[in-house]
Amino acid sequence: MGGFSLGAGIGWSAPCVELLKDHHGYDVFSTNVVAAVFPLGAAVGMPVVPFVIDRIGRKWTMMSLVPAFVLGWVLITLGVTTMPVLTAGRLITGACGGMFCVVAPMYSAEISEKEIRGTLGVFFQLLLVIGILYAYCCGYARNVLVISILCGIAPLVFASIMTFMPESPLYYMTKNNEAAARKSMRFFRGPDYNIEPEIDEFREQVERSKRERVTLSAFLRRPVLKTLGVAYGIMLAQQLSGINAIIFYCETIFKQTGVDLDPLLQMVVVAVVQVIACCISASLIDQVVARLGRKVLMITSFSVMCACLFALSIFFLLRDKHPDVAECLFWLPLISASLYILAFCLGAGPIPWAYMGEIFPTKLKGTASSSAASFCWLLAFLVTVSFSTVAEALGNAAVFLSFAIFCALSVLFVIFCMVETKGKTFAEILREFGTYDIA
C-alpha cells in the first residue's frame, strides 16, 4: 500500500495537468513544475532514509511517513488555486513516496524466502501501477480537488494495515534481539517451518557487519564502487527510457497525436495494461527468473521498449510530414504505448528496485540503496520537467527517438555489467560482487 500511495501521487499529474491548464489558468511552465516537483521531492527525501532505517527499523520508518504523506495531500487539496501551496504538497508527497521506494523493497527482501523473493519484489511495482490506474480513473471526476481527496486516502489505508505487521527479523538481529527476530520469522513462515538456517544466516551477516564501522572508505572500495556503478547504471537506464515522461504526461501525449479517441480513455487503457503486466510479472517472475534470469528479462524488456518508442517516433514524424498516412495508423500510438508499458512492467520497472534490495552489504544497504534511489528520482525530475519544453522545441518524434536510443544502450549495459542474482542467497550474491567481507 506504500507503493499504491506512491502510484497515486505519480498518476495524479496526468489528468490534473490538463485540468490545471483548462480550469485554473496554469501555463505550460507552471504545470511542468507541478508535475516534476514530485520526483524532485523523492530525490530530496532519499538522504533521510539511512539516518532512520537502522535506528527505528523498516516498519516504523514507513509508518512515520504517513502523517507527512497526509499533510502533503491536504496541501494539494487546499492549494489548487495557489501554486506555491500546491507545489509544496507535491514536494512533500514525492519525498514520502520516494522513501517508500527504498524501505519497502528492503523490508520485502528481508522477510521473504529466496524462492519467492522475486515475486514479492514485484508486488511493490504491482501496487504502484494499480495506484497510477486509480489516479487515472479518478480523472473522470474532472475536478482537481476531488481527485486529490480520493488519492489522499491511500496513506491512511497503508497505516491501518501496516500496524499489524511485524518488524523485519534482520533488523531485530542487528539490535541483538534474537527472540523478537524469531517471533517475526515465525509470523512469516508459520509454526512448523524450520527457520534456523535463515536465522543463522542473519546472525552471520550481523556479526560480519559489526567488525568495522561504516565510513567513507568502505564506499570507496573497488567492489563496493562496482556494485554502486551497477545500481546507478540500471537506474539511469530505467529513467532515460522515458517512462516517467509518458506516465506524467500520458493524457497530453495522446492529445498531441491528433487521434480521434478520448485521451483519458487511452490513458486508462495504458494503465490497465500496466496492471495486467505486473500481475503476469508477479505470478511468473520467479519461474521465469529461475529459467532465464533477471538479465534476460531486462534485455527483453529494454529491447521491446526500444521498438515501441521507435514506432511512436515514426508516428509523430508521419503526423507532421504525411498526416494522411498517420491517420490510417491511428491505432499505432495506443498499441505502442501499451506494449511499451507491458515490457517495462515485466522487466525494467520492477527488477531495478528488487535488485537494490539484494546486492548491497547489510551495513551499507541503507545508504547505498537510498543514494541510488535518489539518483533515480533526480533523473525522473530532469526528464519530467524538461519533457514538454524539449518536445515543443524539437518535436515529439525527436524526443521519442532519443528515448529509443537510450533503451538500445541500456541493453548493452545489462549484457556487460549486470550481475545475475537468480536463486542465490544474500551471501552468494555478495561473494559474486566481492563485497562478502564488508557485509
Residue 329 lies in a domain: yes
Calculate the CA 184 to chain-centre distance: 27
Q: Is 357 inside a domain boundary?
A: yes
Residue at 290 is within a domain: yes
In this structure, what CATH number is given to the domain that contains residue 255? Answer: 1.20.1250.20
- Indicate the helix (H) or strand (E) that contains 210: none
Element (H, E) at 117: helix 117-138
Assigned C-alpha cell, 181: 527476530
Return the number of other C-beta atoms located less than 10 Å from residue 303's C-beta. Answer: 17
Answer whether residue 179 is part of any domain.
Answer: no
Position 25 in a domain: yes
- Looking at the domain assignment, is residue 200 inside a domain? no
Total domains in the fold of the chain: 1
246: its cell numbers: 509518458
What are the residues whose beta carbons fall under 8 Å from the beta carbon of 43, sequence distance 6 or more? 98, 374, 375, 376, 377, 378, 380, 381
Helix (H) or strand (E) holding 241: none
CA angle 236, 242, 245 (to 5 degrees): 125
Task: Please identify which residue in the block is written with the cell numbers 487539496.
Answer: 77
pTM for this prediction: 0.76
Angle between the N-to-C axes of helices 396-417 and 222-239, in degrees from 0 to 180, rounded to the nearest 10: 150
**132-164 confidence digits (pLDDT tens):** 889 989 988 889 899 999 999 989 999 998 888
Is residue 246 in some structural domain? yes
Give residue 210's Cα distance to chain centre. Answer: 31
The parent domain of residue 14 ranges over: 2-165+212-438
Per-residue pLDDT of the chain (439 residues; tens, 9 = 90+): 888 999 999 889 888 888 888 887 788 788 888 888 888 888 888 778 777 887 888 888 899 889 999 999 999 998 888 889 999 999 999 999 888 877 888 888 888 887 777 677 677 878 888 898 899 899 888 898 999 999 999 899 999 988 888 888 888 888 888 888 888 888 888 888 877 788 888 887 777 766 656 667 777 788 888 999 999 999 999 999 988 888 877 777 777 766 667 777 888 888 888 888 777 766 766 666 667 778 888 999 999 999 999 999 998 888 888 888 878 887 888 888 889 988 888 788 878 877 877 888 877 876 787 788 788 888 988 888 888 888 888 888 899 999 999 999 999 999 998 888 877 777 788 888 877 766 5
CB contact at 8 A, 330 and 259: yes
Residue 195 in any domain: the answer is no
Q: How far apart are CA 342 and CA 258, in angstroms?
A: 23
